Amino acid sequence: MPLFPLLGGCLALFSGQFKTANIKLFVAFSGAFLFSITILNIFPEIFGRSDGNPSIFILFGFLFQLVIEQFTKGLEHGHLHLHKEKNFMLAPLFISLSLHSFLEGYPLGGNFFEPGTKTGFIVGIGFHEIPAAFALVTIIRENGASIGKTFGFLLMYSCMCLLGVAFSSILGSSGFDWVQLPALAFVAGIFLHISTTILFENSENHLYNRLKLVSIILGMGLAAGISYF
């Protein structure tokens, strides 16, 4: 999992010719994949294993993402507009984004998933971590940080998802495995918010709209392939 944010961050660090438009199309692809995996794969896992109604945790996850975005400014969507803002603080931005990544990794710490669901979940996290890390590194560099310092931030961020997995495993072995289902429902709410925000964002022109539609179809097709084949 750390390879995905490392890839996105390194693209921002060392690929000066990489166009923002390419990132936006990949964001559309990843948003469609994330939305489809949530609907086709994660929701059936949640409701199929629950004796109660886990919907409240999905709602909490959705609302949590709304709060987090007050600090991340949509960076987990691959947004690159923060350089236009003069008064934002990097520390809350980095901490909020790291917490977001930590929580995404938490449901993976136990033996809760079926193999197909786990694969889709991991790939979904990875796909949306690439543009998020790209945006994070871009913002850090635009605020005057050296390459070494920026890469340090990238390494820390890349480890957060694995820390979530490790923390979940420790709690599970201590008898707290009952937290897995609410945690998965919570993360599904986060995924639902992120993916729908990406899918329904306004596009700049008709050409981009067509390319975005193709990206969305490809993302949904890949998710369906992982879910059913």
Q: What is the pTM of this model?
A: 0.86
- Secondary structure element (H or E) that encloses residue 120, with its range: helix 115-142
CA proximity to 123, closest of 229, 34, 183: 34
pLDDT digits (tens, 9 = 90+) for 68-87: 888 877 776 666 554 455 45
DSSP string for 5-35: HHHHHHHHHH-TT--HHHHHHHHHHHHHHHH
Q: Write down the pLDDT at residue 8.
A: 86
Taking only Cα atoms into account, the Rg of the chain, rounded to an integer number of angstroms, comes to 17
Q: How many distinct structural domains can be found in the chain?
A: 1
Q: Across the 229 residues of the chain, what is the mean pLDDT of every consecutive 10-residue run?
A: 86 69 82 92 83 88 91 70 56 87 85 72 87 86 86 93 90 78 90 89 66 91 86
d(CA 197, CA 165): 26
Q: How far apart are CA 45 and CA 185, in angstroms?
A: 9
CB 143 within 8 A of CB 90: yes
Helix (H) or strand (E) segment spanning residue 80: none
CA 166 from centroid of its chain's CA atoms: 18
In tens, the pLDDT along 195-215 reads 998 888 755 665 668 888 899
End-to-end CA gap in the chain = 22
**Structure confidence at residue 131 (pLDDT):** 85
The half-sphere exposure of 101 on its side-chain side, counting CA atoms within 13 A, is 33
Say how far apart CA 149 and CA 96 lie, in whole Å: 19
Find the domain containing 23 and state its range: 3-228
Q: Which amino acid is at 181?
A: L
63 Cβ neighbours under 8 A, 6+ residues apart:
189
Q: How far is CA 123 from CA 9, 21, 37, 46, 129, in A?
A: 17, 22, 9, 18, 10
